[in-house]
Amino acid sequence: MNPDNSAEPCSRNYVHWTKIRPLVSDIDFNGHVNHIAILRYFEHARLAVPLRADSLPGDAAYLLARIEADFTGEVLLDSLVEIGMRISRIRRTSLVLEQVLTIGDATSAKSLCTFVKVDPASRAPTAFTAQDMPRFGFDASVFDTAASRPQG
User: Which domains are seen in the chain, by residue range?
Assistant: 11-147 (3.10.129.10)
One-letter amino acid at 47 equals: L
More confident residue, 1 or 44: 44
pLDDT interval class at 60 (50, 70, 90): confident
pLDDT for the residue 31: 92
Backbone angles phi, psi at 47, to 5 degrees: -80, -15
- Average pLDDT of span 93-106: 94
Q: Say how far apart CA 10 and CA 75 lie, in whole Å.
A: 19
d(CA 148, CA 120): 27
Sign of the CA dihedral with 50 first, then 87, 43, and 27 last? negative
Lowest mean pLDDT among 51-60, 74-83, 135-144: 51-60
DSSP β-ladder status, 16-20 and 61-71: unpaired
What is the band of 148 on the pLDDT scale with cuts at 50, 70, 90? low
Nearest to 99 by CA among 89, 111, 107: 111
